[in-house]
Structure 1
Amino acid sequence: MNALGVLIIVLVVVLIVAALSIRIVTQYERGVLFRLGRVVAVRQPGLNFIVPVIDRLRRVSMRIVTMPIQSQGIITRDNVSVDISAVAYFRVVDAEKSVVAIENVYSAIDQIAQTTLRKVVGRHTLDQALAETDTINIDIRRILDVTTLEWGVEVTLVELKDIQLPLSMQRAMARQAEAEREKRAKIIAAEGESLAAAALGDASDTMMAHPLALQLRNLQTLIELGVDKNTTVVFPAPLMSAIGEISAFLARENASAALHAAPIPEAGVYS
């Protein structure tokens, strides 16, 4: 019994030591090994053994982290107050630096991202902030990388997520957009009138060179007017002038015929 009891105690001790010694690092993590408070190694994914009590293994995730940047009240260069929120994507590239160089890397990146967002957007006007978001995103990311690389962190992407404008500015921009659309509509209408006038000028030159074309066009117009079976009779001006000319011609012909039909007096007889 004594031997069996000792064996059981040994097995229990071995299991406790094994439990304290075995550490598993997953594929997306790296393990920073501290021995008596000093960094001695960075352990790779898989099964790792440490010395109980003496060693401490700190796991660090190497996956990309999505961090929302809360809405910031920013005054642009043209003195317009806007609220802008963004989102940042970053990942740890040096596990040792991310543990040793800074206490809380996530909180630090959140704070520096907010201040950088205010600083970069404040350099631009409102129109630039709305139209050049890609440039602003690149500037924010470049400034963040200068600082975060010293912490073993790389910022992979920064995107402006939402830009909220004051109601008065929204109404002013709506009026501006409406005026711009009205201007474009008037320009398009004027260009159409110009093209139509040029086409009508060409058509009038053709009709002057070919008078019969005008008569054919008048007949086509009469056909179009008669499609609805209305009782309106339209006589185009050229047709009325033609009727007048025919009437004048007939009057002249009748006068000439009457003149030729008048009796000729007989000649007197003299002895």
Structure 2
Amino acid sequence: MLCSLPILACGSHLTLKIYGNANLDDTIDQRDVDYVEGIINGTQEYSELADANNDGNIGQEDIAQIEDIVAGRETNLILKDTANRTVSIDIPVERVIVPSGLTAEAFKVLKATEKVVGVSNAIHEKTYFFPEFADLPSVGGWKIEDYEAAISLDPDLVISYEKWPPISEAEEKLDPAGIPVVVLEFTDPNFVTEELVKLSYILGTNGAEDRYIQWRSGYERQIDDYVNNLSRDERPSVFLETGFKGLNDVGT
């Protein structure tokens, strides 16, 4: 499907939590095929993600699934989402409901906005930034709330928060309609890169995330280099506040 930017080269370790990433690095490629062969032959240690089809056994079927993912011909993708849920998604994904503005930004980064079929009122309020979504149906204020509207859009996938609404509620409402829900939030800097790569695999956008990752990691390196050269006394104190109804302190 894609060969993502080697994120390890950016100075941080990332494990892409997609079944088929047998060697637990940041992409799925021939090295994962080799790793599964090593497990079968007894020369490599077992890893959960080596079970590419998630059937509880490591075998030739897993090698075939990994080869399909690498070639972009897989019909199913199994992953661990940001809520650590195991989610199975039929591929290709062409119709997605995206209530979160942050996730909508990720679709812009991946140049996949044409796959979005439903959004939220919060996205409608930002037509200056999301003009391509201005005429799409809404499924709620800033999260998925109108499940009947969501189901009527016949989506292949809904991308939601973990807690807004509770993911158990979204599953209960959408599972009977055969609509998978995956949690990708794009709120925690520690997970944004993995979530973006994961979304790129889901959408089949063939490495469209690489330019963003290079841009982001470049600025992260600049900030790290600058801050690491400051003594403790030279580092300014910072107070952050945020909130949906007034301000709440979130950290210093």
Q: TM-score, normalized by length of structure 2?
A: 0.23
Which structure has more relative contact order (CA 8 Å, sep 6+)? It is: 2
Higher-Rg member (1/2): 1
Task: Determine which structure has the larger helix proportion and give its number.
Answer: 1
